[in-house]
């Protein structure tokens, strides 16, 4: 199978690695040239982690993986390759207007039989399918981070998605060694509908001074068996993505629990994105040994804290 992937950030790179390591050719583009340039090396490293974790003892595994990845700086060159693909996968920012405008431009240029997958965490596939002009062939394939290490994929058909598109998608994902499951087309689908309000509640309790990063994560890890705890998970998802997801889910649901807490906005403003930027709820100076940060300066005690201290 051949796939075209637009967006080579955190999740795009995971999907690219997954496609390539299971023998599929993958053509990639990102509007940020620096992100695009670092993509192959990152995927190579990720393939190495997969080989180690799953004890793959093929010495050429990473090379075979990398050989299947082709990056295109020029959008026109990427579009030419995308025209020969079975699947077009979008993995760009979680912003409905942006996704719709990109899809409205790209999908009408592709042959009528190309299936459209979106890796959105929460957005409505009906709206994206209509924006791209092929709702029958549009479906969410929401992978988890990091894609090659987390098998689950939420498959979310829209109102007009055909049974053939669902069947094709399930089979293609199984062939890519993923574990697809059907989820409803509601804001956040199944996984984030449950997870996001919980993660945002955790940040709200932190900014109320009721819990610390360390105690919070140790508690969830030792009591519920969460491998990372909620704050470390925030740092992997990254603060900008959490902010976008929360806001989109809030706008789609009007549920106040989805409204992003002040701390999340401040962290985005301060560049404290999480593991990738070196600082989030944890200090990632040593990525193997992240240290929970003292975030007492983010505790909101007064109206002044809410106004003056937002910087």
DSSP 8-state secondary structure symbol assigned to residue 310: -
Nearest residue relative to ligand NAD (C-beta): 9
Count the helix, strand and coil residues of the chain and give each as a percent rounded to the nearest 5. 50, 15, 35
Question: With respect to ligand NAD, which residue has the nearer C-beta, 238 or 263?
Answer: 238
**Rounded Cα–Cα distance for residues 246 and 249 (Å):** 5
Structure tokens at 29: 């583009």
Distances (CA, A) of 145 to 53, 78, 114, 238: 15, 25, 25, 11
Q: Which residue has the tokens 């360390």?
A: 214
Site string for ligand NAD, 240-269 (x = CB under 6 A): -x---x------------------------
Confirm or reject binding of residue 31 to ligand NAD (CB under 6 A). Answer: yes
Confirm or reject binding of residue 39 to ligand NAD (CB under 6 A). Answer: no
Distances (CA, A) of 254 to 102, 187, 198, 249, 288: 26, 10, 16, 8, 39
Question: With respect to ligand NAD, which residue has the nearer C-beta, 242 or 292?
Answer: 242
Confirm or reject binding of residue 275 to ligand NAD (CB under 6 A). Answer: no
Confirm or reject binding of residue 202 to ligand NAD (CB under 6 A). Answer: no
Beta strands in 51-151 (DSSP E): 69-71, 87-90, 115-118, 138-143
Kindly state the number of chain residues that form the binding site for ligand NAD, as judged by CB under 6 A: 26
* Beta carbon of residue 297, minimum distance to ligand NAD (angstroms, whole number): 26
Sole window of 30-38, 132-140, 259-267, 284-292 interacting with ligand NAD (rule: CB under 6 A): 30-38
* Beta carbon of residue 309, minimum distance to ligand NAD (angstroms, whole number): 27
| Three-state DSSP state, 112 | coil
Site string for ligand NAD, 131-160 (x = CB under 6 A): -----------x--x---------------
Confirm or reject binding of residue 235 to ligand NAD (CB under 6 A). Answer: no
Looking at 23, 32, 37, 198, which residue binds ligand NAD (CB under 6 A)? 32
Sole window of 151-159, 179-187, 233-241, 294-302 interacting with ligand NAD (rule: CB under 6 A): 233-241
**Rounded Cα–Cα distance for residues 106 and 85 (Å):** 13
Residue 45 · residue 21 · CB < 8 Å: no
* Beta carbon of residue 236, minimum distance to ligand NAD (angstroms, whole number): 6
**Rounded Cα–Cα distance for residues 137 and 270 (Å):** 40
Sole window of 27-35, 133-141, 151-159, 289-297 interacting with ligand NAD (rule: CB under 6 A): 27-35
Looking at 16, 46, 69, 237, which residue binds ligand NAD (CB under 6 A)? 237
Confirm or reject binding of residue 280 to ligand NAD (CB under 6 A). Answer: no
Looking at 85, 94, 264, 298, which residue binds ligand NAD (CB under 6 A)? 94
- The distance in angstroms from the start CA to the end CA of the chain is 48
Confirm or reject binding of residue 82 to ligand NAD (CB under 6 A). Answer: no
Nearest to 48 by CA among 149, 193, 137: 149
Residue 121 · residue 181 · CB < 8 Å: no
**Rounded Cα–Cα distance for residues 156 and 144 (Å):** 14
Residues of this chain that interact with ligand NAD (CB under 6 A) are 6-12, 30-32, 35, 91-94, 98, 102, 119-121, 142, 145, 237-238, 241, 245
């Amino acid at each position: 199978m051949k796939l075209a992937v637009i967006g080579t950030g955190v999740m795009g790179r995971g999907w690219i690695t997954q496609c390539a390591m299971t023998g599929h050719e993958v053509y990639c583009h990102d509007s940020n040239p620096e992100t695009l340039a670092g993509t192959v090396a990152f995927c190579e490293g990720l393939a190495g982690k997969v080989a180690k974790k799953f004890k793959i003892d093929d010495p050429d595994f990473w090379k075979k993986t990398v050989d299947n990845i082709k990056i295109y700086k020029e959008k026109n060159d990427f579009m030419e390759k995308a025209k020969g693909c079975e699947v077009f996968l979008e993995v760009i920012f979680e912003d409905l207007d942006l996704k719709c405008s990109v899809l409205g431009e790209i999908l009408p240029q592709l042959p009528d039989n190309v299936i459209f997958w979106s890796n959105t965490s929460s957005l409505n596939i009906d709206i994206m399918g209509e924006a791209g002009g092929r709702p029958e062939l549009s479906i969410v394939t929401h992978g988890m981070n990091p894609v090659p290490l987390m098998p689950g994929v939420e498959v979310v058909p829209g109102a007009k998605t055909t049974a053939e598109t669902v069947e094709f998608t399930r089979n293609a994902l199984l062939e890519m060694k993923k574990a697809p499951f059907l989820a409803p087309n509601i804001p956040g689908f199944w996984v984030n509908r449950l997870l996001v309000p919980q993660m945002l509640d955790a940040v709200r309790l932190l900014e109320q001074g009721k819990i610390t990063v360390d105690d919070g994560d140790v508690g969830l890890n030792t009591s519920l068996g969460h491998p990372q705890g909620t704050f470390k998970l925030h740092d992997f998802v990254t603060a900008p993505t959490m902010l976008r997801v929360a806001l989109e889910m809030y706008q789609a649901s009007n549920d106040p629990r989805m409204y992003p807490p002040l701390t999340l906005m401040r962290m985005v403003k301060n560049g404290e994105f999480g593991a990738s930027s070196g600082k989030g709820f944890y200090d990632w100076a040593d990525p193997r040994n992240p240290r929970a940060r003292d975030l007492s300066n983010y505790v909101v005690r007064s109206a002044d804290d809410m106004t003056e201290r937002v910087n």
